[in-house]
Amino acid sequence: MKKTVLGLSIFILLVLCVYPFLELFLKVIYSGPGGTLSFDAFNSVLTSDTILTAVKNTLLVSTAVSLLSCLVGIPLAWLLSRTDFPWNRRFRSWLCLPYAIPPYIGAIAWIFLANPTTGLLNRILGHSFLNVYTFSGLVWIESSFLYTFILLTVHASLERMDSSFEEAARLSGAGPLKIFKDITLPLIRPSILGGGLLVFLATAASFGVPALIGSPARIYLITTQIYTFQKMGSMSGIYRAGALSMLLLFSAAVTLLIQQRILRKSQFQTVSGKSSRPSLIELGKWKTPSVILVCAFLFLVFILPLSGVFISALSKVQGEFSFDNWTFSNFYRVLFETQETGRAFWNSFSLGVIAATLACLLGAFLSYIQVKTKLKGRNLLDLLASLPYSTPGTVVALALILAFSNGFFGVGPSLYNTLGMLALAYIVKYLSFAMKTTADGYRQIDDVLDEASRVSGAGWGRTMLYIWLPLMKAPLVAAWFLIFMPVVSELTMTILLTGPGLETVGTVIFQLQEYADASGGSASVLAILVVMLVVLVNWIVKKSSDGRYGL
């Protein structure tokens, strides 16, 4: 019985998480006339100058973003965990907030601020003082979100690290900077490298910012190039998009392998059982300058762009700054008068609920098998589910199109451009996240609690209901919201999986910004609502789990 359940689970995961990629690969390989073997798609991709430039751009941007993120993230993590920086917990959650906000919101904000002709900052600082449509604009906006990856990983590893390593160096007579260089940095190097590669991967896989900032500046990345090919509409376009996404998938896999290898090879045992309160380094006369610096940074990455979006959302006429010009009519128009945006909200909301619920249910079920049974092959579940999670969204979307466009294995109607396809994509993408979160929850619950309930006479069902469910409430609630949140504003996959007539919050914001009225403030209104949702959800998650989850 148990074996059948495991077999069935593996089968489901194979269909959802592996088969689409296989289909993508096969369709691209057998793309000749009548489905014959052909490498034309690969050839045309690998010999095209445009593509090579896109590959080069992707490498350049990703490297620059990783470096800049490290440059900002490491000192911040150190400052917040090792010194007597005031209100460090509060600052940490503010500084980590961009982690949960989709970066394309940042792109919209910075276009509003630093558009060479109409940007708000350029009106103040002088015409064309800043130009967002540049390589550095692209790097800056991506970094202003992705530095949080470094901050989170490095901060976590500093908190886990036994503080006596640094204290021993202090007693040897070394000052703070020397300790950082000689002791701290070498010990956290694996997590820096790991975090840096994650940033690299996230940049290479990102779509929103490159599309909104890069494309107008004719800086094309792999993801935006795939989008262009796919939107050509022809089969050959799809095949070329497929070939290019195989390339992206391959580089992502290599990056991930390197990352795991680094983590496995050079991970020092720096965690000890005893957790003494670390003695904090006193900033002394550096306290005020460092607080000012951090506040200035926070202003630059968060407050300034957010207020830009706010001003735009509240302006009757874009670009005019007077009190008479303030209005809430944009909000009213977007939410209740414009059919398109209202529909988008409803779609995204219901998709969020459906995808989060199904992913959590399936995830909790699969991780139970993985953590709490001893069946052979149970670790395969985690491995299979993590495949779409670590694959760039663009590639996942393309694979799903090729696999399920003609219905489910040829049965039923085409799923392309349907809510069903979107829900499927979100579930496939976030299943691994649900599994990991619930698996951590299961691991913290001792098996004897289950056994005690059984001995007390409760069957499997009642044990689930009275013991597991209450104990698993926190991780389940967290997983649900942490899937709901990104799904509501998802863009990368959605833009490829939908066409006209099926709007979501992400695609509407994107299209409003790209094609339609940059002057109406509608995109800004939606962006504000997304940010408010993120803050609200983060608050709910944090409160409901007593700070175990959330930022």
Partner 1 sequence: MSQVKFEGIKKQYAADVFAVSDFTLTIEDGEFVSFLGPSGCGKTTTLRMIAGLEKNTHGKIYLGDDLVSDPENKFFLPPEKRHVGMVFQSYAVWPHMNVYDNVAYPLKIQKVPKDEIEKRVLEMLKVVELNGLEKRMPNQLSGGQQQRVALARGLVMQPKVLLLDEPLSNLDAKLREKMRTDIRAIQQSLKLTVVYVTHDQIEANTMSDRIVIMKSGKILQVGSPKEIKSNPVNDFVREFIQ
Catalog residues that contact partner 1 under the rule CB under 8 A: 162, 164-165, 167-175, 178, 182-183, 186-187, 268-270, 272-274, 276, 279, 282
Least Cβ distance, residue 167 to partner 1 (angstroms):
6
With respect to partner 1, which residue has the nearer C-beta, 40 or 167?
167
Least Cβ distance, residue 279 to partner 1 (angstroms):
4
User: Please, what is the Cα angle at 213 between 212 and 215, to 5 degrees?
Assistant: 80
Least Cβ distance, residue 255 to partner 1 (angstroms):
25
With respect to partner 1, which residue has the nearer C-beta, 218 or 274?
274
Tokens 């886990």 belong to: 160
With respect to partner 1, which residue has the nearer C-beta, 118 or 270?
270
Q: Measure CA of the first residue to CA of the last residue in the chain; give whole Å.
A: 41
With respect to partner 1, which residue has the nearer C-beta, 175 or 499?
175
Least Cβ distance, residue 198 to partner 1 (angstroms):
23
Least Cβ distance, residue 193 to partner 1 (angstroms):
14
Amino acid at the residue 162: D
SS3 205: helix
**Number of neighbouring beta carbons within 10 Å of residue 80:** 22
Say how far apart CA 4 and CA 9 lie, in whole Å.
8
Least Cβ distance, residue 269 to partner 1 (angstroms):
7
Least Cβ distance, residue 74 to partner 1 (angstroms):
17
- What region does 550 belong to: left with phi over 0, alpha with psi -120 to 50, or beta? left
Under 8 Å between Cβ of 130 and 141: no
With respect to partner 1, which residue has the nearer C-beta, 30 or 268?
268
Say how far apart CA 435 and CA 380 lie, in whole Å.
13
With respect to partner 1, which residue has the nearer C-beta, 40 or 182?
182
Least Cβ distance, residue 172 to partner 1 (angstroms):
4
Say how far apart CA 18 and CA 205 lie, in whole Å.
19
Least Cβ distance, residue 289 to partner 1 (angstroms):
19
**Residues whose CB falls within 8 Å of the CB of residue 436, separated by 6 or more in sequence, listed in order:** 367, 382
With respect to partner 1, which residue has the nearer C-beta, 174 or 217?
174
Say how far apart CA 510 and CA 508 lie, in whole Å.
5
With respect to partner 1, which residue has the nearer C-beta, 46 or 187?
187
Amino acid at the residue 139: V
Q: What sign does the dihedral 319-504-541-12 (CA atoms) show?
A: negative
| 357 token code pair | 């619920």
| 313 token code pair | 């959302």
Give the residue among 430, 49, 388 at the shortest CA–CA distance from 249: 388
With respect to partner 1, which residue has the nearer C-beta, 170 or 454?
170
Q: Please, is 444 exposed, middle or buried when counting C-beta atoms within 10 Å of its C-beta (0-12, 13-18, 19+)? A: exposed
